[in-house]
Amino acid sequence: MTFDVAIIGAGIVGAACALECAREGMSVAVIEAREIGGGATAAGMGHIVVMDDSEAQFALTRYSQNLWIELSKEMPADCEYEACGTIWVAADEEEMAEVHRKQEYYSKRKVPTEVLDARQLQEAEPNLRKGMSGGLRVLNDSVIYSPCAARYLMERAQKRGAKLIHGRVEELKRDGAKLSDGSFISAGLVVNAAGSWSPLLTPGIDVKKRKGHLVITDRYPEFVRHQLVELGYLKSAHSLTSDSVAFNVQPRKTGQLLIGSSRQYGVEDSKVENLMLSKMLDRAIEYMPKLAGLSAIRSWTGFRAATPDKLPLIGPCPEHENLYLATGHEGLGITTSLATAKLLIDQILKRPSAIPVEPYLPSRVKQEAVHA
Amino acid sequence: MDRKRLDCDILIIGGGPAGLAAASSAAKNGRSVSIIDDNPNPGGQIWRGESSKSSIPQAAALLNKVKDLGVDFIGGARVFDQPEDHLLLAESLNDVLELQYSKLIIATGARERFLPFPGWTLPNVMGAGGLQALVKSGMPIDGKLVIIAGSGPLLLAVASYLYKHDAKIVLIAEQTSRSNLLKFGLGLIGQPDKILQAIDIKKQLFGVPYKTNCWPVSAHGHGKLESVKLKQDDRTFEIDCDYLACGFHLIPNLELPALLGCETDDGVVKTDQFQQTSVPDIYCAGESTAIGGLDLSLVEGEIAGYAATGNEQQAEHLFNSRQKHRKFADLLNRTFELRDELKALPDQSTIVCRCEDVTFDRLRQYNEWRAAKLHTRCGMGPCQGRICGPAVEFFLGWKPESVRPPIFPARLDNLIRVATASAEVDTVTR
Amino acid sequence: MRETVSLAVNGIPVTVPQGAMVSAAVAIAGFIGFRRSVTGQPRGPLCGMGICFECRVTIDGQPHRKSCQIPCSNGMDVRTDG
């Protein structure tokens, strides 16, 4: 048979796209080489956050967060949706100025936030080191157990007829996907949602692997109450190419703490690197000294699919007939998966979207190159 | 946390019989030898609580010898990572230890295999070796009603120990068949010491019912164990008790050798005739290379100790003895092989992963480990799948996944290496 | 005479022989559940050798300590959650 659409990858983005396509009555095949949500979906922190690096990033993250808030009302318990909020932590007055700038930006756009002074921050998160200047609480941010969320989206798609096909895609053709076992999945449209593997299937797209490390602890309920992120990046040369670490801790619904984060380019090996792990944990303990004595039960790495402008590629792939992209989500794939699926199906069905789609079109990269 | 650094010629992981034997033969040559073990004292599981004044002559002799040879024993410390070649990290209550070595001998032994059945998570349902270890650690057992069940020679050893400590052994239930045991007995001809051991234990346990073809199917109680249902042939019966000590033979501890990249084959570490693993400078002896009992562990340890210090000739003298004990090991493992009926032990709601409380019916929705782990968290708790992993392998045939550091939960700050300052990493970004 | 160690389990004073593990003190104090599982079931020791993590208790305010591998010491404050 020929499917209306073949989606490559059953990560959270592929699963969300499958559900949207199936909802519109399309016949859908999702081709996954491993397990549902087994790539960056499983390796990442699983946050649903509004971000403001650019207007386009803000628009996409907020749109998607609202979709998640709706979906959370019906998600099963094992998705562990927890509306814990984020606190952007300001270590000094310079970072406090960023808190105010951010607060103004968010409040203009009706994102609920609260500025915390030093005392309020200490009350909100007693285990942060003393002497912080304050922080910005973003109330609607949440965390989720992503592999189960991906599976939930996939199951809903399957209930509407989507087929999950286990196999490794070797080549994308204009009329389908060729698998490594020699079989061919015939489809009217193909969606490349293979995350950091996507450039292997669609050579030429500017998606690079960006490696990250994470550590998870045993259960310490109430040790941390919000997702905590530092604002310290203001002082470092914020480079797209060099390796870096940052303080980023999340409370999971289980009571466990997820500790990040690190970023590396140009590393293919997935092994846990002692140096990066050490730097990352050093930074975490600097912000939260009592983390030092907690029991760490596991560390792992994963690869984000990063683009140069930190925006995903959503839409038709230039010069490849019938091929759509839904990839390049870097560290925001969980957050923006639901909106990605909406923007994708809108483009497939040639109908208007809730937010402008232009900033995410794969063709933008080429245009910029021409103008540069 | 204090950081301590230790440099030694020969580092031995595990202070049970294999590790002690390795230390004794390695230290004879004037090398600096250190043993590290997670228990406070040497002896391993089988000689837990024994000292150089032990009433077990073999234990006393070996513990004395190791002491006299000046072997350094580091107790209460657990290896959790290998940050670079020839360097291990271990954690104790107050310290993190950096252990630098020229040659490493892994003697991490074995653990009990647990098979989940309804009620096995009730307090006072324990491993057979588990209950013995707890009693050796000071837990009173006198006057308590104990059922010992599962499989393997450990059951009898535990029964004998608990009996001497005035427990009331209600029943010993062995899953293997009487005919397997008879074949085992016949196989022992030519090994009179082992037959004598068996007769001795049998004498000590005079009057304690020993049933073959018999295994527990469920445990019952409110908040703690009160009774156990067992099955023998087609009959099911229920017995009241205070403790169920239940383990289904042993499985090798492979996490450390796996972390170090040592090849394994069919669930044991592969070694050459000198007990060397596939990784240069790393040897392995004892139950990690095959479940074979005390004598095989001792001789393998001795060979490894000689080989690691360049004494191949002395090692070669022990090859015949090892061969004899390996035959016994084969016989042992055939005798106590698990019967297929045990695959029906868990019901749908039986918890398989005790860390994350994952039930059997949830696991059965998947067809391989990784997906099950990701979507149910089975095996993702602090025991890192050491308890549920072997059970899942037996029930569902899923092979264990690769190991990642830390191989045991460790204090967060112990994961940080100090020598990182030189490297170029931006401290922050998003 | 053997030396002894005195400690408290859930506030109850216990005296144990020198070298006894915390797991023994918990049992001697009369507690059977050592911890609560993630779904709230009471649990006690299983493996006795530091592998299963079922015997975890809080010692001197530090949660998740393996009682079967930590020797008792004078003045220790042990809390169970079973």
pLDDT in tens, A187-220: 999 999 999 999 999 999 999 999 999 999 999 9
- pLDDT of A171 higher than 50: yes
Task: Give how far C14 is from chain B: nearest CA, Å.
Answer: 12
Q: Give the pTM.
A: 0.93
**Alpha-carbon distances of B251 from B108, B111, B293, B390, B397, rounded to whole Å:** 11, 6, 12, 8, 15
Q: What is the pLDDT of residue C36?
A: 97
E-assigned strands of B285-417? 351-353, 358-359, 410-411
Report the phi/psi class of residue A265: left, alpha or beta, with left for phi > 0 and alpha for psi in -120 to 50. Answer: beta
User: Taking residues A331-357, what's their average pLDDT?
Assistant: 98
Beta bridge partners of residue B95, listed in sequence order: B2
- Provide the percentage of residues in chain A whose pLDDT is more than 70: 96
Chain A residues 236-255 with a CB less than 8 Å from chain C? 254
**Residue A254: which of C38, C62, C63 has the nearest Cβ?**
C38
- pLDDT of A372 higher than 50: no
- Residues in CB range of B61: below 8 A, 6 or more apart: none
Beta bridge partners of residue B168, listed in sequence order: B145
Q: Kindly determine whether residue C48 and residue B121, on different chains, have CB atoms separated by under 8 Å.
A: no
Q: Tokens for B56, please give them.
A: 């077990």
* Chain B CA closest to residue C64: B382
> pLDDT digits over C15-67, tens only?
999 999 999 999 999 999 999 999 999 999 999 999 999 999 999 999 999 99
Best of C31, C39, C51 to disrupt the B interface by mutation (most B CBs within 10 Å)? C51
Task: Give how far C11 is from chain A: nearest CA, Å.
Answer: 22
Q: What is the pLDDT of residue B400?
A: 84
Q: Kindly determine whether residue C49 and residue B357, on different chains, have CB atoms separated by under 8 Å.
A: no
Q: Kindly determine whether residue A274 and residue B83, on different chains, have CB atoms separated by under 8 Å.
A: yes
B410 in contact with C, Cβ within 8 Å: no
Q: Which residues in chain C are closer than 8 Å to B126, comparing Cβ atoms?
A: 44-48
Exposure string (b/e) for B252-280, b if CB count within 10 Å is 16 or more?
A: bbbbbbbbbebebeeebbebeebbbbbbe
Q: What is the pLDDT of residue A234?
A: 66
> What angle do the packed helices B192-204 and B154-164 form, to 10 degrees?
40
| Measured distance CA(B238)–CA(A13) in Å, rounded | 53
| Measured distance CA(B254)–CA(B287) in Å, rounded | 10
Best of A282, A285, A286, A294 to disrupt the B interface by mutation (most B CBs within 10 Å)? A282
DSSP-derived secondary structure letter, B398: P
Q: What is the pLDDT of residue A165?
A: 97
Task: Give how far C32 is from chain B: nearest CA, Å.
Answer: 6
* Chain A CA closest to residue C58: A220
Q: What is the pLDDT of residue B272?
A: 98
Q: Kindly determine whether residue A296 and residue B424, on different chains, have CB atoms separated by under 8 Å.
A: no
B131 in contact with C, Cβ within 8 Å: yes
> What angle do the packed helices B369-376 and A146-159 form, to 10 degrees?
100
Q: How many residues does chain A have?
A: 372
Q: Tokens for A240, please give them.
A: 């797209």
| Measured distance CA(C33)–CA(C35) in Å, rounded | 6
Q: Are B184 and B331 in contact (CB under 8 A)?
A: yes
Instruction: Give this complex's ipTM.
Output: 0.97
- pLDDT of A98 higher than 80: yes
Q: Tokens for C7, please give them.
A: 């400690």
- pLDDT of A370 higher than 80: no
Q: Which residues in chain B are closer than 8 Å to C68, comparing Cβ atoms?
A: 133-134, 137
Q: What is the pLDDT of residue A235?
A: 66
C-alpha B239: how far from chain center = 29
- Residues in CB range of B293: below 8 A, 6 or more apart: B153, B325, B328, B329, B332
Q: What is the pLDDT of residue B429?
A: 41
| Measured distance CA(B352)–CA(B359) in Å, rounded | 5
Q: Which residues in chain C are closer than 8 Å to B124, comparing Cβ atoms?
A: 32, 44
- pLDDT of A244 higher than 80: yes
C50 in contact with A, Cβ within 8 Å: no
Q: Kindly determine whether residue A293 and residue C62, on different chains, have CB atoms separated by under 8 Å.
A: yes
Mean pLDDT by 10 residues, chain B (430 residues): 88 98 92 94 91 89 95 96 94 93 98 98 98 96 98 94 95 94 79 71 80 97 97 95 98 96 95 98 97 96 97 96 94 94 97 98 94 95 96 95 90 80 44
| Measured distance CA(A146)–CA(C48) in Å, rounded | 35
* Chain C CA closest to residue B78: C50
pLDDT mean across residues, chain A? 94
Q: Kindly determine whether residue A147 and residue B404, on different chains, have CB atoms separated by under 8 Å.
A: no
Pairing of strands A295-306, C42-43: unpaired
Type of residue found at A94: E
Give the number of beta-carbon pairs within 8 Å between A and C.
8
Q: Kindly determine whether residue B374 and residue A37, on different chains, have CB atoms separated by under 8 Å.
A: yes
| Measured distance CA(B164)–CA(B148) in Å, rounded | 15
Q: What is the pLDDT of residue B202?
A: 73
Read out DSSP for A7-72? EE--SHHHHHHHHHHHHTT--EEEEESS-TT-SHHHHS--EE----SSHHHHHHHHHHHHHHHHHH
| Measured distance CA(B225)–CA(B121) in Å, rounded | 9
- Predicted confidence band of residue A371 (pLDDT cuts 50, 70, 90): very low
Q: Kindly determine whether residue C32 and residue B354, on different chains, have CB atoms separated by under 8 Å.
A: no
Q: What is the pLDDT of residue B198?
A: 74
| N-terminal to C-terminal alpha carbon distance within chain A | 45
- pLDDT of A334 higher than 80: yes
**Residue A239: which of B84, B409, B426 has the nearest Cβ?**
B426
Q: What is the pLDDT of residue A236?
A: 59
> Pick from B3, B303, B420, B280: which is nearest to A282 by CA?
B420
